[in-house]
């Protein structure tokens, strides 16, 4: 498998979907526009909601983005697992009533196995319980054996963002990172059973069919649509053959910066926790402040304040005295300014 840098992967993804007729759009701000249901953009589809519901006309019926996202719901896992982050970039391709399941599956499979040349025998699929159509398409389009297609319930394979908005059954692509990453789950380490780092979800294909309102009522969207999301950091870790998001060229240089400031050496095991959290949180703080969020006691400002305080507290645990977090913003801008020129501005 060829090793790619993160900037190559971001570009390859967008170019692949442009070659399939998609319009590549710039990432939207982390601050939602005209949307009171969300504090911060937490998925590639979030800023595109009005296109799914038919409230606004999209610039094209096929769009692709690499969207900056913030998720803090599982902040306690950040730095503990290989895959949790508060700031991440989500690669996505979207169809607003244009193609549906068949082309979504065909394109995802084509990108992973022909462009990136991931070994097919390591890939696993999950589908929503009764989604026979998705099952049959995976069987028809790919040579995925029956035993590597798992049917799971609503918790795993029905996607919705919070309580309201466009939603639908989904199909996820996972990669088996190998028995050396297995956990000791009492029922055995297996996809759909445990939640360890062996089974890495790399791509979620959502078959958008409904809009859920404030009362929980689901009405069909004007036309079935597609929303896919692949974490750039995760696919980078796979392509760079490293064990965690933190070991990729997207984050490791920030861990080195923590080493430089603290004078301490990073440990990839449990002792490296503060280094990983500071590296992640430094990215979140830099991008949030860049998009105009400032620390405060409420709303999105409180999210930033919480992230910032956590990073500072862990800096203290490494013996760092005085303000230090600001030193990361220039580094983040250096690393990512080409794709996010607002950081340089
Ligand atoms: N909305 C889905 C997710 O965030 C796919 O993009 O996982």
- For ligand 1, atom 3, which residue shows the shortest CA distance? 229
Give per-residue pLDDT as tens, 206-252. Answer: 999 999 998 999 999 989 999 999 999 999 999 999 999 999 999 99
Residue nearest to atom 6 of ligand 1 (CA): 229
What mean pLDDT is predicted for residues 295-320? 97
Contacts of 1 (CB under 8 A, 6+ apart): 116, 117, 118, 119, 239, 241
Distance 263 CA to ligand 1 centre (A): 39
In the block, tokens 């830099």 appear at: 286
pLDDT over threshold 90, residue 197: no
On average, the pLDDT of the chain sits at 95
Measured from the Cα of 90, ligand 1's closest atom is 6
Interval between CA 229 and ligand 1 midpoint (Å)? 5
Q: Is 175 in the pocket of ligand 1 (CB under 6 A)?
A: no
Instruction: Determine the pLDDT at residue 266.
Output: 98
- 24 or 164, which is more confident? 24
Contacts 24+ apart (CB under 8 A), 234-237: 234/83, 234/200, 234/201, 234/202, 235/9, 235/91, 235/116, 235/202, 235/203, 236/4, 236/6, 236/9, 237/82, 237/83, 237/200
Residue 331 to residues 41, 70, 134, 306, 337: CA-CA distances in angstroms? Answer: 23, 19, 43, 22, 9
Dihedral of the CA atoms 269, 273, 325, 291 (nearest 10)?
Answer: 110
- Smallest CA separation from ligand 1 atom 2, residue: 229
Q: Mean of the pLDDT values across residues 118-132?
A: 96
DSSP 48: G
Q: Contact, 288 vs 70, CB < 8 A?
A: yes
What pLDDT score was predicted for residue 163? 83
Q: Are strands 23-25 and 62-70 parallel, antiparallel or unpaired?
A: parallel
pLDDT digits (tens, 9 = 90+) for 21-54: 999 999 999 999 989 889 999 999 999 999 999 9
Q: Report the separation in Å between the CA atom of 124 and the middle of ligand 1, taken as the mean of its atom positions.
A: 18
In angstroms, what is the span from residue 92 Cα to ligand 1's centroid? 8
DSSP H or E segment with residue 228: strand 218-231
- Range of lowest pLDDT (168-172, 194-198, 278-282): 194-198
Nearest to 340 by CA among 293, 290, 279: 290
Does the predicted model carry a pTM greater than 0.75? Answer: yes
- The band of 278, judged by pLDDT with boundaries at 50, 70 and 90, is very high
CA distance 196 to 175: 12
Ligand 1 neighbourhood includes 159 CB (under 6 angstroms): yes
Return the SS3 of 193. coil
142 lines ligand 1 (CB under 6 A): no
β-bridge partners, 92: 65
For residues 340 and 33, give the distance between their C-alpha atoms in angstroms, rounded to a whole number.
19
Q: If you measure from the C-alpha of residue 306 to the centroid of ligand 1, how many angstroms do you get, rounded to a whole number? A: 25
Say if ligand 1 is within 6 A of residue 42 CB. Answer: no
Number of H helices, E strands in the chain: 11, 9
Helix axes 252-262, 273-290, angle to 10 degrees: 110
Q: What is the pLDDT of residue 222?
A: 86
Reply yes or no on whether the pLDDT at 2 is more than 80. no
Ligand 1 geometric centre to CA of 160 (Å) = 8
């Amino acid at each position: 498998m060829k090793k790619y840098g993160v900037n190559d992967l971001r570009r390859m993804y967008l170019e692949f979907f442009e070659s399939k007729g998609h319009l590549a759009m710039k990432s939207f701000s982390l601050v939602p526009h005209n949307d009171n249901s969300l504090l911060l953009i937490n998925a590639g589809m979030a800023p595109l909601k009005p296109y799914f519901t038919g409230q606004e006309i999209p610039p094209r019926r096929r769009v692709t983005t690499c969207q900056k996202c913030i998720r803090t719901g599982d902040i306690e896992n950040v730095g503990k697992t290989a895959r949790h982050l508060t700031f991440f970039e989500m690669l996505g391709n979207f169809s607003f009533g244009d193609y549906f399941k068949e082309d979504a599956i065909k394109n995802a499979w084509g990108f992973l196995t022909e462009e990136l040349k991931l070994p097919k025998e390591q890939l696993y699929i999950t589908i929503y319980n009764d989604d026979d159509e998705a099952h049959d398409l995976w069987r028809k389009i790919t040579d995925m054996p029956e035993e590597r297609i798992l049917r799971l319930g609503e918790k795993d394979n029905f996607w919705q963002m919070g309580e309201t908005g466009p939603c639908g059954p989904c199909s996820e692509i996972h990669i088996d990172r190998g028995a050396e990453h297995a956990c000791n789950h009492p029922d055995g380490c297996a996809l759909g059973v445990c939640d360890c780092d062996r089974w890495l979800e790399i791509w979620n294909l959502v078959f958008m069919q409904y809009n859920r309102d404030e009362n929980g009522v689901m009405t069909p969207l004007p036309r079935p649509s597609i929303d896919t999301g692949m974490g750039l950091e995760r696919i980078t870790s796979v392509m760079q053959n490293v064990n965690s998001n933190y070991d990729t060229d997207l984050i490791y240089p920030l861990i080195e910066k923590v080493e430089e400031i603290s004078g301490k050496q990073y440990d990839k095991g449990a002792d490296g926790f503060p280094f990983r959290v500071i590296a992640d949180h430094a990215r979140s703080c830099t991008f949030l402040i860049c998009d105009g969020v400032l620390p405060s006691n409420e709303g999105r400002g409180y999210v930033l304040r919480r992230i910032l305080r956590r990073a500072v507290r862990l800096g203290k645990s490494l013996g760092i005295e005085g303000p230090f977090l600001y030193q990361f913003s220039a580094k983040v801008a250096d690393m990512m300014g080409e794709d996010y020129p607002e950081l340089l501005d």
